[in-house]
Amino acid sequence: MKEIFAQFGDDIMKLRKLSFVFPDPLILFSPTPFSMKTQSANKPWGNILGDLLLPIAIALIFLAFTFSYFPFREKLQFDTDEGLNLMRSMLVVRGHSLYSEVSSDQPPLFTQILALLFRVAGFEVNPARSLVLLFSTLLVWSGAQFLQITWGKLAAILFLPMVIMVPRYLVLSTAVMIGVPSIALASVISLPS
């Protein structure tokens, strides 16, 4: 409760100057308003290390759970887009030029990463699905990091069971489609510094 009032302390003080809507006991919960950079600068090293390790642990638990218990290695095809992405990358590996010989309505990064993976691991679907699972793990890390920064450690911890219970998220986390990798990279870029 104190963290919420501390976060919005500046807004409360501005509104208080405009009118007398807020009673004094509400202001008593709020310490002196300060920015997030001041909060992190005054933390001991143990708290900073814990803040760094919690989202990483949450992401690794998600990766281990999904890789161990979700049956993505036995499924033939999750979606027709999965086959299109696999064939597009296979054609790029075989020397066809992307956009002139191979039709694509997507940016080239995911196709080129899949093509590189195919050059290393061969034309197998499971390494490609594992690559998308790594991107999904990056997305879970980013979500946990954001929640920890904005709402605290409890919200970051509760994020893991919530994301596992989202319908079709585990399917999208292992299907060779561009959606989850794109969102993962965008979420990492948009994290507050």
Whether pTM exceeds 0.75: no
The percent of residues above 90 in pLDDT, for the chain, comes to 54
Give per-residue pLDDT as tens, 35-83: 444 445 566 656 777 788 999 999 999 999 998 888 777 776 777 788 8
How much is the pLDDT for 3? 58
Cα distances (Å, whole numbers) of residue 192 to 2, 36, 126, 147, 155? 22, 10, 34, 11, 17
Residue 23 has pLDDT above 70, yes or no: no
